[in-house]
Structure 1
Amino acid sequence: MTTVFTFPGQGAQRPLMLQHLPKHPQVREAIEQAEEGLGVSLGALDSAEALKDTVNVQLSLLICGVAWGRYLQANDITPAYVLGLSIGAYPAAVVAGCLRFTDALSLVKTRGELMKSAYPSGYGMLAITGTVFEQVQAVVEALQNQGKRIYLANLNAPKQFVLAGDQASLKQAAERVRKKGSGTSSLLDVAVPSHCPLLSAESQQLLETFQYIELDEPVVRYVSAAKARVIKQASAIKEDLALNMAHQLHWHDSCEMLVERGVSKAIEMPPGSTLTSLFRNTLRHGVCYSVENTKLNTLYFGGRQ
């Protein structure tokens, strides 16, 4: 079976997510690299209080994704593709073999700090489920025409979208969706307005930082959720990682593209299982697993490329 590893983004985090990593030499090595590189213990990153900080959230998701990805690879569960949602693109690039983990730690810390400093409060993201693209787009455009700072950030499924912007505008969008009676909405546990032009300046700053980082050609095919295509060149992956905070994400299109390429198995790295549910919308004749809800031997069965 042709397998893709998927890596979740902000909103999936949960307290103590780094305290239950698998016991394995490669995982221990990753933990030691993280603690040494960041100068803190993992417990300082994933406590309930620490996860109120977007920098700690992004670092925790990076470490968790890399640890579990390497653990599965060490157990001969190998992906043909990797696909990450938002910050999930960074552990995906590490597991793909093109970004060094030590560099990823530094870059993700910088990424989180840039996003946090730009929007320390008053902004966030809103999930909308149960309505179609045209209705969501109409709500966004109507608010934008009133001068509101709100954007369509993620196209996750035919009837699942995420908006980014200031909290007041997001609340207005939620109310308009409710009045239409064809969808539901909920604020995500995300403190910054990702995947929209509000972070364009910060993404360019991060791209400048990337110029000092050397990437390798990937040994596992890297998929950009912003472009919904496979990226092969290290220079293009570098740009994709740096700019993804300001680019709209096309998760559903990315999944469809992978199914067209023959992917029949999707395995989601912890924490959570949201990406598994989303992938099932497309992978109707394959299998989708979230690692935290599945035994290793089940993941292994048919899990090779």
Structure 2
Amino acid sequence: MSSAFLFPGQGEQYPGMLHDLPAHPSAAAVLDEISAVLGHDVRAHDDERALRSNASVQLALFASGVAAWRTLDALGARPDYVAGHSIGSFAAAVAAGALALPDAVTAVRARGHAMETAYPHGYGMGVVLGLDERTVTRLAEQAGRPAQPVYATNVNAPRQIAVSGADPSVDRLLALALANGAAKARRLAVDVPSHCPLMAGPEQELAAVLSRLPLTRPRIPWAGNRGGRTLRSADAVREDLVHSVAHPVRWHDATSVLHERGVRLFVQVWPGDSLARLARAAFPDARATSMRAGPPEHILQLIRRVVSA
């Protein structure tokens, strides 16, 4: 049996999340290294005011993921696979050894700035529970307007579909979803239309930045966002990171591939536990947990049990 670390994306942020990280020298060292690249303390990106900025949210989530992973790694808790949802894929790329931390900071900063600049207001995301991708796509076509498009985007589970677009159309789509039998339909704490064609411009800007950064073959197999496959080459990781902006995240496909490859322990790295809950629901024969469930030493014990099983 194998283990996988899952790095979350937007929606898991909360004020103080960088200050709530495990009190370990490795975590502090990561935050200091990121701060040196930024030219200011990254810890300032996790207060309530800063988290109103999409660019700050992305930096804070990335920093928390890498700092938490480095703590686990220092303790000897090492996974067989890694995967990251949206911005979490950059932290996963660092953990896999495909992208150096300073270069990842450069890419994440550029990504967040490009996305926020392109759509400073009037756009966002929602999520529909209880309807499949085909149905949500049909409802998006009904809800959208020529000047206010909306799209079905991330497939987090077979019946948990994210939507992205102009605020009025997102709201119309969520109302239509409820009228058509959705169990829930609500807005997400994301104020840009991620993972849809509206992000073609920011995706091109990120592609230009990543083309100048060196990537290496991942030491740990890395599950991609776009195709739901485990990637083992630097070029494949680079391409998937680029497509993390304007293309849907096929999260259920990615975790299903990991499960097929023998993963029976899914660990969500800091913060939150939404990815752990998705894995728990999708794979009843696997253990799924998060760092919020206990100290880092608890994760180490779980991985040792998986290795010895």
TM over 0.5: yes
Shift of 1:147: 6.3
Q: What CA distance in whole angstroms lies between the structure 1 residues aligned with 2:154 and 2:29?
A: 34
Percent identity reads 34
What residue is the counterpart of 2:165 in the other structure?
165
Question: What are the residue-to-residue correspondences of 1:2-41 with 2, within 5 Å?
Answer: 2-41=2-41
The alpha carbon displacement at 1:93 in A equals: 0.2
Letter of the 1:179 counterpart? A
* Matched residue, 1:240: 240
Give the SS at the match of 1:301. helix
1:288 is aligned to 288
Q: Which amino acid aligns with 1:172?
A: R
Alpha-carbon separation, structure 2, partners of 1:152 and 1:228: 17
Task: Give the AA of the match of 1:269.
Answer: V
User: Structure 2 matches for 1:181-260, cutoff 5 A?
Assistant: 181-260=181-260
1:259–1:282: 8 Å Cα contact kept in structure 2? no
Partner AA of 1:231 in structure 2? L
Q: CA deviation at 1:135?
A: 2.3
Task: Give the superposition deviation at 1:98.
Answer: 0.9
Cα deviations by residue, 1:271-303 (Å, 9 ceiling, x for unpaired): 111001111122211100110122334322240
Counterpart Cα distance in 1 of 2:134 and 2:28: 48
Residue of structure 2 equivalent to 1:90:
90
Give the counterpart letter for 1:101 in structure 2.
Answer: L
User: Aligned partners of 1:183, 1:140: CA distance in 2, in Å?
Assistant: 17
**Could you tell me how far apart the structure 1 residues matched to 2:106 and 2:140 are?**
35
Q: Alignment length, in residue pairs?
A: 305
Q: Match for 1:274: what amino acid?
A: S
CA distance in 1, matches of 2:171, 2:11: 18
Q: Counterpart of 2:127 in 1: which secondary structure?
A: strand
Deviations 1:86-111 (A, max 9, x none): 00000000011110111111111110
Q: Which moved more, 1:258-267 or 1:209-218?
A: 209-218
CA contact (8 A) 2:143 2:170 kept: no
- Cα distance, 1:302–1:16 mapped onto 2, change above 3 Å: closer
Q: Which amino acid aligns with 1:161?
A: I
- Tell me, in whole angstroms, the C-alpha distance in 2 between the residues paired with 1:132 and 1:243: 23
**Structure 2: unaligned runs, 5 residues or longer:** none
Q: Which amino acid aligns with 1:195?
A: H
Structure 1's 2 and 122: CA in aligned 2 closer, same or farther, altered over 3 A? same
- Structure 1: where are the runs of 5+ without partners? none
Letter of the 1:217 counterpart = R
CA contact (8 A) 2:154 2:163 kept: yes
Tell me the distance in 1 between the aligned counterparts of 2:145 and 2:168: 15
Secondary structure at the aligned position of 2:243 is classed as helix
Matched, 1:272 2:272: yes
CA distance in 1, matches of 2:210, 2:42: 25
Between 1:26-35 and 1:109-118, the stretch displaced more is 26-35
> Any idea what SS the aligned residue of 1:86 has?
coil
Q: What secondary structure, in the 3-state scheme, does the structure 2 residue paired with 1:165 have?
A: strand
Moved more, 121-130 or 276-285: 276-285
Q: Is the 8 A contact 2:6 2:275 kept in 1?
A: yes
- Counterpart CA distance in 1 for 2:166 and 2:145 is 15
Structure 1 residues 77, 116: closer, same or farther in 2, change over 3 A? same
Alpha-carbon displacement from aligned partner over 1:231-280 (angstroms, at most 9, x marks no partner): 11101211211221111111111111111000010000111110011111
Q: Secondary structure at the match of 2:195?
A: coil
For each residue in 1:121-164, what CA deviation from the matched residue of structure 2 results, as whole angstroms up to 9, or x when unmatched?
Answer: 00000111122333212201223476641111111112111000
8 Å CA contact 1:204, 1:243 repeated in 2: no
**Which residue number in structure 1 is paired with residue 179 of structure 2?**
179
Contact 2:130–2:181, Cα closer than 8 Å, also in 1: no
Relative to structure 2, which stretch is displaced further, 60-69 or 243-252? 243-252
In structure 2, distance between residues paired with 1:53 and 1:24: 28
Q: 1:288 and 1:294 mapped to 2: Cα distance?
A: 13
Distance (Å, rounded) in 1 between the aligned partners of 2:214 and 2:205: 17
Root mean square deviation of aligned Cα: 1.5
Q: Report the TM-score when normalising by structure 1.
A: 0.96
C-alpha displacement of 1:58: 0.3
**Secondary structure of 2:87's partner?**
helix
